[in-house]
Amino acid sequence: MDNCIFCKIIEGIIPSTKVYEDEYCVAFRDINPQMPVHIVVTSKKHVPSVLGFTEDEKDILGGIQLAIAKIARQEGLVENGFRVVNNCGRDACQSVPHIHYHILAGGNMGERIV
């Protein structure tokens, strides 16, 4: 999609540090990391948020979940654990309207989610 930062990263127009790619998604290191490990996993299909998927796109959603597990193993995050965050809409401060999940790791994040 024109003028979408993540579409441009997926297409390689905007450079990024990619850590994973498959038929459903691309993962790259966040430009503004909030933890020592901060990876963004985004759908290759431009969908603004989790609200935008249809019943026949369950394969994409499942593919992303499986990719998150693969990335966690690949990046050595299994032993100490990690957090997965999806911001959706205004109150969650979603800044890029192309669905993505944050994988956060590399230190204790506390018991509270926010």
Q: Contact residues for ligand DGP (CB under 6 A)? A: 5, 14, 16, 28-32, 40, 87, 93-96
Q: State which residue, 28 or 82, has the beta carbon closest to ligand DGP.
A: 28
Burial class (CB in 10 A: 0-12, 13-18, 19+), 6: buried
Q: Shortest approach of ligand DGP to residue 9 CB, angstroms?
A: 6
CA-wise closest residue to 26 among 14, 18, 38, 37: 18
Q: State which residue, 13 or 56, has the beta carbon closest to ligand DGP.
A: 13
CB 20 within 8 A of CB 71: yes
Q: State which residue, 17 or 80, has the beta carbon closest to ligand DGP.
A: 17
Task: Assess whether 46 carries a catalytic annotation.
Answer: no
Q: Shortest approach of ligand DGP to residue 4 CB, angstroms?
A: 11
Separate counts of helices (H) and strands (E) for the chain:
2, 5
Q: Shortest approach of ligand DGP to residue 56 CB, angstroms?
A: 26
Rounded distance between C-alpha atoms, residue 110 and residue 89, angstroms:
24
Tell me the catalytic residues.
100
